[in-house]
Structure formats: C-alpha cells, structure tokens
C-alpha cells in the first residue's frame, strides 16, 4: 500500500510505503487546537516507511507537551505528523494531510470528556471519556500504546 500527502502550500510532500494503523477521533483539547477542528484524526506508521520531501526546509517541530512533538509546515501551518520522544520511530500522520484515498473507517471516539460543546457525536462509534479501550482501538505511536507495553 502506498499513500501520498502534502501540506496546503505544497512545499512539503510525503509518500508512505506501508499500511497506516487503525485510527479513531481524538477530542482532547490539544488535538482540537492542533487541528483547528472538533477532533484530530491520526494514524500511526513506522517512520522508516515515510519518504518526506522538504526542499525548502519548512518542516517545523513544536514540543506541545513534555515528550510529545508535533511537526507542521512552517510556511502554511499544515499539521503533518506527531511523535513521542520515547518512540521517535513511530509517527502519527494527520489524516487531513493525505492526498491519496484512505478507505479505513474510524474505530472510536477518544477523550469525549473534552469534546467541543458545539460538536454532537452521532455516528454510533464507541465513545470513551479518555483513551479508547485497547480491545477496540490501539492508537499506534500514542501514549495509550506505550501503556500497553
């Protein structure tokens, strides 16, 4: 499987040469602010399977909390991926940056205790106040997946 993605201005492009992990919607405050939307949609992949092209050297990283780094285009601001400093080889791709079709469907809603009041969840997926139950969704590359080790 191969996917292509890019930032809004096109300065940064990437190709993924592996299947992305299952994903869910995260409603935590950080994901909402980082995405500028009601939730974040992110899927994990090993960094070794990512071919990133950034000829203008625009990729910018921001430590949003201790041990978590978010990467985005410094030109247009598009969030591209995030990773934990304890597992930098696993990144969580921001699905909104994909240019290729992605046919998986979300497994659950996480951190609904922090969801935006203006966004009703009406899709019938399981909802969790914090992390999703790992029997339903393992969020590869997240703190939830680290707790399972």
Q: What is the CATH number of the domain that holds 27?
A: 3.90.1590.10
- Average of pLDDT values for 7-31? 96
What pLDDT was estimated at residue 1?
80
pTM passes above 0.85:
yes
Query: What is the 3-state secondary structure of the chain?
Result: CCEEEECCCCCCEEEECCCCCCCEEECCHHHHHHHCCCCEEEEEEEHHHEEEECCCCCEEEEEEECCEEEEEECCCCCEEEEEECCCCCEEEEEHHHECCCCCCCCCCEECHHHCCCCCCCCCCCCECCCCCCCCCCCCCCCHHHHHCC
- Under a CB-based contact definition with an 8 Å cutoff, are residues 99 and 16 in contact? no
Please state, in angstroms and as integers, the Cα–Cα distance from residue 13 to each residue in 51, 54, 86, following that order: 8, 7, 25
Could you report the per-residue pLDDT of 48-91, keeping only the tens digit for each? 999 999 999 999 999 999 999 999 999 999 999 999 999 999 99
Average pLDDT, the chain: 94
Measured between alpha carbons, how far is 41 from 145 in angstroms, rounded to an integer?
16
Give the number of domains in the chain: 1
Q: In which domain, by residue range, is 18 found?
A: 3-147
- Average of pLDDT values for 110-132? 97
């Amino acid at each position: 499987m191969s996917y292509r993605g890019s930032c809004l201005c096109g300065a940064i492009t990437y190709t993924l040469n592996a299947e992305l992990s299952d994903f869910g919607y995260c409603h935590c405050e950080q994901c909402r602010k980082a995405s500028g939307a009601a939730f974040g949609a992110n899927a994990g992949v090993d960094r070794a399977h990512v071919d990133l092209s950034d000829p203008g050297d625009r990729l910018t990283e921001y430590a949003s909390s201790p041990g978590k780094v978010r990467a985005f285009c410094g030109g247009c601001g598009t969030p591209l991926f995030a990773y934990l400093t304890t597992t930098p080889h696993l990144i969580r791709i921001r699905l909104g940056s994909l240019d290729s079709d992605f046919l998986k469907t979300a497994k659950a809603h996480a951190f609904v205790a922090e969801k935006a009041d203006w966004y009703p969840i009406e899709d019938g997926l399981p909802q969790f106040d914090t992390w999703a139950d790992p029997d339903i969704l393992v969020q590869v590359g997240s703190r939830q997946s680290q707790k399972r080790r």
